[in-house]
Amino acid sequence: MKLAGLKSIENAHDESVWAATWVPATESRPSLLLTGSLDETVKLWSPNQLTGSLDDLNLVRTNTGHCLGVVAVAAHPSGVIAASASLDSFVRVFDVDTNASIATLEAPPSEVWQMQFDPKGTTLAVAGGGSASVKLWDTATWKLIATLSVPRPEGPKPSDKNSSKKFVLSVAWSPDGRRLACGLMDGTISIFDVARAKFLHHLEGHFMPVRSLVYSPIDPRVLFSASDDNHVHMYDAEGKSLVTAMSGHAGWVLSVDASPDGAAIATGSSDRTVRLWDLNMRAAVQTMSNHTDQVWGVAFQPPQGSGARGGRLASVSDDKSISLYSYS
């Protein structure tokens, strides 16, 4: 497996780019890359439609409407709608092709961090920051249907004096939609049974903020985490066990995503690199140094159909740029 650099767009935004995700293809268009920036905008990028090349990215549209920086973006599995979350505590849900607003979700008193639609597209999970919870919104009515609160660990710990430690930064759905994981500022990961809105257990092992989580697309038990402790962890999320800790980054690991084939993960780090990890070897097999500042987001493109060539990976950074790679 390997990555090859295809395209870098310098100054893709006016400020740091903190979020990126792919919007799945629809019958009428290819998949699009959605990016969010501290410049308060969300941008949609398309593979070159003139040449049909997947090796280029053209700006389709710039969405405005947030009052503060955009810290998270999420795409519905249908490819029709998407959401962006800002430091202004609002989540904006919009039609991908027209930018028409569908809903505005307010999440005070806490800011919103990461969010993700469940695999069926019926629920949007939003990491509630200082509220120490994950909020679940019904995508048919846009009503809040559940608040999954992270329990405090049992037993007195010195760190418990600092309540801000129970701060939810990241969320991930299992591929079967039955479990939701959230990563916390204190390094723990909480697993919930979604149907029963019930906390199951914590996963331990990190000792610094867990910025990003992703489940394996082929095994609903396997969860990957990225942390400020410079490590990437692979857990058996049902068995409550740490399978392996992978090291290689020289700085905070800010983002992780799993390849659609389940054979690799990619990570972005404050050490300015993107790394590709072979899950059979459980080691980094490639380091890409396209960026000149910390890499806040990595995102694999969803499969493009049976006849498609190898996949794509995008990365975004504090250097305001987007990089596009082929994954094969």
Determine, yes or no, domain membership for 172. yes
Q: Which domain does 49 fall in, by range?
A: 3-151+165-327
66-125 pLDDT tens trace: 889 999 999 999 999 999 999 888 999 999 999 999 999 986 656 778 999 999 999 999
Q: What distance in Å separates the CA atoms of residue 124 and residue 134, rounded to the nearest whole number?
A: 10
Confidence check: pLDDT of 300 > 50: yes
User: Please, which pLDDT band fits residue 312 given cuts at 50, 70 and 90?
Assistant: very high
28 pLDDT more than 50: yes
Q: What is the pTM of this model?
A: 0.93
Q: What confidence score (pLDDT) does residue 166 get?
A: 81
Q: Does residue 34 lie within any of the structural domains?
A: yes
The answer to whether residue 307 scores a pLDDT higher than 50 is no
pLDDT digits (tens, 9 = 90+) for 233-248: 999 999 999 999 999 9
Radius of gyration of the chain (CA): 18
Res. 52: pLDDT tops 80: no
Task: Kindly state the tokens that stand for 206.
Answer: 């990190």
Residues forming beta bridges with residue 182, ordered by sequence position: 171, 190
pLDDT for position 112: 79
Q: For the ranges 24-28, 111-115, 226-230, which has the lowest average pLDDT? A: 111-115
The pLDDT of residue 269 is 97
Question: What are the Cα distances from residue 118, in Å, to 76, 121, 155, 181?
Answer: 8, 5, 33, 12
Q: Is residue 158 part of a domain?
A: no
The reply to whether 159 falls in a domain is no
pLDDT of residue 53: 60
Q: Given this model, what pLDDT does residue 161 score? A: 46
Cα–Cα distance for residue pair 27/81, rounded to 1 Å: 14
Residue 160 lies in a domain: no
Total domain count, the chain = 1
Asked, for residue 11, whether it belongs to a domain, the answer is: yes
pLDDT tens track for 271-291: 999 999 999 999 999 999 999
What is the residue-averaged pLDDT of the chain? 91
Q: What is the spatial distance between Cα 297 and Cα 318, in angstroms, rounded to a whole number?
A: 10
Look up residue 50 and give its two tokens.
């003139």
Give mean pLDDT, residues 129-146. 93
Q: From residue 111, how far is each of 62, 65, 71, 130, 167 by CA, in Å?
A: 23, 16, 10, 7, 10
Considering only residues 263 and 152, tell me which one the structure prediction assigns the higher pLDDT. 263
In a domain, 265, yes or no: yes
Average pLDDT over residues 311-323: 95
Residue 157 belongs to a domain: no
CATH of the domain at 227: 2.130.10.10
- Proportion of the chain above pLDDT 70, given as a percent: 91
The sheet carrying 101-106 orders its strands as: 70-75, 81-86, 90-95, 101-106
